[in-house]
Each structure stands twice: as C-alpha cells, then as structure tokens.
Amino acid sequence: MTAALAVLRSEAPRAAPAVSTTDLHRRQLDRLKRLGVEFSTLPRADHAVLLRRFADAFVDPARRQDFLLAIAGARPLDYDRYLRAEHIRALVPLGGSLSWLSGGRTAARCHRLERRASLPALDLLVATIEDTWATSWPGMLVSFPAGRALIITLDYERIHCDLQRATPYR
C-alpha cells in the first residue's frame, strides 16, 4: 500500500513554482525589448521623485497623505483611488489612449509607474509602443509636460486624467 501511495504522489501534478514580482517585471521588460519599445529603467531616486511629482499634480489634496503612505508600503497601488476627480475624463479619447497621453506629439516620452512602488519606473518613447499592449498592463503612464495620466486598472479599465480640463460634475 505504501509503495502505491509513493507512486501516486510522484505522479501527482505539482504546483508551478512561484514567480517573484521582480522576475515577472524582468520578463515584461524583456518582452518590451522584443517588441521594439524604446525605454530606459529609471534609478530608484528618480522613481521616488516621479511619485512625489505625481502626488503633487494628480492626487486629490485630501488623499495626498494616504497616497504617500501607500507608496511607502509593500502593497500594490490602485492609482485611480487617489486621483483628483474633477480632472477624470469620462470618454476614451479618439485616436487611442497613448496618442491622447502624449498630446499627439510623436516624439513624446512618458513615464510608466508600476502598481508596486518597489519596482522601477520606466521612461518610454510613446511612438514605439502599441496602444493595445500598453493598456493591457495594469499600472500608470504619465506625461508631466502634457499634464495627463493614464491609469490601467486590474480590470483593464482605462482612466484618463487631464489637468488641462476640469469637469464641474465631479
């Protein structure tokens, strides 16, 4: 009986080894390279500056302290929870989210911030990444010169935040 159990246990399917967040991020960056996306990984100090700059520009002042506490933690961020509601656009812009983000400029660059603040930020050339790929990767893309941020939620919802346009209905 014990020999039969040993055989069953050896043939039982084994769980796939856990993949760390860092390994998964590395795989995503490798895929970006294969897709021909022009990007660079930003140093940790620059990443912290970007997060604070995002907090200053896009985060609701009433939620700023909560946001700063959240980026200091280890949990994934839901950037949309902290946005200034009066600047959220209800409609998806014509021409795609990345074209909107860059203000239509082909040589524009943006920053990609992960849901986990511990992962490095990226500096991307917008013209080298497809809209469908960029919006299938939860996190945030932000263009400070254009005053726009694009948040992709876990449900792949696109949330457009435009500092140049405010709505009186929120």
pLDDT tens digits for 56-84? 999 999 999 999 999 988 889 999 999 99
pLDDT for the residue 19: 67
Residue 8 clears pLDDT 50, i.e. is over it = no
pLDDT for the residue 2: 52
Element (H, E) at 40: strand 39-41
Tell me if residue 132 falls in helix, strand or coil: helix
Residue 168 clears pLDDT 70, i.e. is over it = no
Residue 145 domain-assigned?
Answer: yes
Cα separation, 136 vs 32, in Å, equals 13
Cα separation, 137 vs 32, in Å, equals 11
Residue 47 domain-assigned?
Answer: yes
Label residue 150 by pLDDT band (50, 70, 90). very high
Task: Taking residues 121-149, report their average pLDDT.
Answer: 92
Host domain of residue 156: 20-162
Element (H, E) at 149: strand 148-152
Give the CA radius of gyration of the chain. 20
Q: What is the pLDDT of residues 92-106, one digit of tens each?
A: 777 889 989 988 787
Residue 108 domain-assigned?
Answer: yes
Residue 148 domain-assigned?
Answer: yes
Residue 165 clears pLDDT 80, i.e. is over it = no
Total domains in the chain come to: 1
Residue 88 domain-assigned?
Answer: yes
- Full-model pTM: 0.81
Residue 167 domain-assigned?
Answer: no
Residue 144 domain-assigned?
Answer: yes
Cα separation, 152 vs 154, in Å, equals 7
Residue 85 domain-assigned?
Answer: yes
